Structure 1
Amino acid sequence: MEYNEFITHVQSLAQSNSRAEAERATRATLETIKERIGSDEANELAAQLPDELRNYLATNQGESEQSFNLQEFIARTSQKEDIDPVTAVTHVRAVFAVLENAVTPEKFTAFHTHFSHDYEELFTTAPTSEVPS
């Protein structure tokens, strides 16, 4: 998926008023994902995204994932985007949905396994294989 297509889809799904808002939503969400999933998975996910988005997920080798709940994920994203948390949820859902279509199903499933059940409201579909908790 090309960068322009990615941002256009985020803008549409988020019902955003501007392309710039969709770009900010994408950046904020990907940067928070990077904090949540750690370097190896973030770098693998980045490899399947357009060049313009890779830097948002780029990490130093060995950076470990941080365990934080859904509310913290939304708080961090809304703070990065400088918007209210309710709007941030809509933006995060849009970015997650576009991510699902932008990367291989196997990569998305691996990405999904880094999130606990309280995150399910952000995912449009259930993972194809769940890891027992």
Structure 2
Amino acid sequence: MNYDTFVDQVARRTRASSTDAVERTRATLETLAERLTGGEVLDLAAQLPAPLQLALKPGAGAEAADRFGAAEFVARVSRRAGVDESTARDAVRAVFTTLREAIAGGEFDEVVTRLPRDYRDMVEPALAPGTALRGR
């Protein structure tokens, strides 16, 4: 999937402008990069268009994941995107669903099944049929 298609899908799913979809996608991917290990981030980024890879760039010392729950994930996206938490939650769902469509081979499913159960509300709509979150 190319960058423009990715943004268009997020915009359609969130009923937002392309500009807003870009900001919400960036905020979600930057937050996801904090939540994953450096290796997981690099594996995921390698399958995305260059502008999305930049948002997924792991920070210094990112070999270990920053362990935070779904509420904190949404709060971080909300702050980064400058939107309320309800809008941020919808954006996270849209970005996760679009990521799953953009990535081949089940890589996205492997990443999200490592997230704790409290992410279920945001992640399960994006999972392939038959994939479930494990309890953590």
Q: Given the two structures, how large is their TM-score scaled by the length of structure 1?
A: 0.91
Q: 2:7 corresponds to which letter in structure 1?
A: I
| Residue of structure 2 equivalent to 1:40 | 39
Say which is worse superposed, 53-62 or 92-101, in terms of deviation: 53-62
Q: Structure 2 vs 1, CA of residues 31 and 79 (structure 1 numbering), >3 Å: closer, same or farther?
A: same
In structure 2, give the amino acid aligned to 1:20.
T
Could you tell me which residue of structure 1 aligns to residue 9 of structure 2? 9
Which residue pairs with 1:118 in the alignment? 118
2:26 partner amino acid: R
Q: What are the within-5 Å matches in structure 2 for residues 1-133 of structure 1?
A: 1-16=1-16, 18-60=17-59, 63=62, 64-123=64-123, 124-126=125-127, 128=131, 131=134, 133=136
In 2, are the aligned partners of 1:39 and 1:61 still within 8 Å (CA)? no
Q: Contact 1:40/1:61 (CA < 8 Å) preserved in 2?
A: no
Alignment RMSD (CA, Å): 1.7
Letter of the 1:49 partner, please give it.
Answer: L
Aligned length: 132
Q: Is the 8 A contact 1:42 1:57 kept in 2?
A: yes
Aligned-pair identity (%): 35
Structure 2 residues without counterparts, runs of 5 or longer: none
Q: Which amino acid aligns with 2:37?
A: G
Bigger shift: residues 117-126 or 29-38:
117-126
- Alpha carbons of 1:22 and 1:109: their partners in 2 closer, same or farther (altered >3 Å)? same
Judge conservation of contact 2:120–2:133 (CA < 8 Å) in 1. Answer: no
1:25/1:79 CA distance change after superposition, 3 Å: same
Distance, in Å, in 2 between the alignment partners of 1:41 and 1:31 is 13
Distance 1:15 1:65, change over 3 A: same
Q: CA deviation at 1:61?
A: 7.2
Secondary structure, aligned partner of 1:58:
coil
One-letter amino acid of the structure 2 residue matched with residue 82 of structure 1: G
Following superposition, the deviation at residue 66 of structure 1 comes to 0.8
Tell me how far apart the structure 1 counterparts of residues 19 and 32 of structure 2 sit (CA, whole Å): 20
